[in-house]
């Protein structure tokens, strides 16, 4: 099956620094990738939709200047958490849809990145 990787798997940083998380589709091309955030014991919350070669579409309440998304190629999307603060500590998960999309809605999820901001 299709594989999506994320790097790093976990990161600890100081408050005020920026952190970049990479999401890669390893064996398929993905025109569209999605970024989610998940707090402990809660569901996944969609943050933004990342489209290759164009600006990301952010969900309501998600600050686009805080969470910078770049989808520069068909296999790589990056999420940069700028000026991170402790409240940004969370589990960040990306997913990707094959391009061209198959007949189903299957998204392939990465393993997630645990961000801890001290």
Partner 1 sequence: LAKTTQPISMDSYEGQEVNITCSHNNIATNDYITWYQQFPSQGPRFIIQGYKTKVTNEVASLFIPADRKSSTLSLPRVSLSDTAVYYCLVGESSYKLIFGSGTRLLVRP
Contacts with partner 1 by CB under 8 A lie at: 4, 6, 34, 36, 43-46, 49, 91, 93, 95, 97, 101, 103-112, 114
CB closer to partner 1 out of 46 and 72: 46
| Residue with smaller CB distance to partner 1, 9 or 73 | 9
- Shortest Å, Cβ 16 to partner 1: 26
Q: How far apart are CA 15 and CA 6, in angstroms?
A: 22
Task: State the nearest-atom distance from the C-beta of 83 to partner 1, in Å.
Answer: 25
- Give least dist CB 24 to partner 1, A: 13
Q: Please, which residue, 31 or 82, has the CB nearer to partner 1? A: 31
């Amino acid at each position: 099956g299709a594989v999506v990787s994320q790097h790093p798997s976990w990161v600890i940083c100081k408050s005020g620094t920026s952190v970049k998380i990479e999401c890669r589709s390893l064996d398929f091309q993905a025109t569209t990738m999605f970024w989610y955030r998940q707090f402990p014991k809660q569901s996944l919350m969609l943050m933004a939709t990342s489209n290759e070669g164009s600006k990301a579409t952010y969900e309501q309440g998600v600050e686009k200047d805080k969470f910078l998304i770049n989808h520069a190629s068909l296999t790589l999307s990056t999420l940069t958490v700028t000026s991170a603060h402790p409240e940004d500590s969370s589990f960040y998960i990306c997913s990707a849809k094959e391009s061209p999309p198959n007949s189903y809605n299957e998204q392939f999820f990465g393993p997630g990145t645990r961000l801890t901001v001290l």
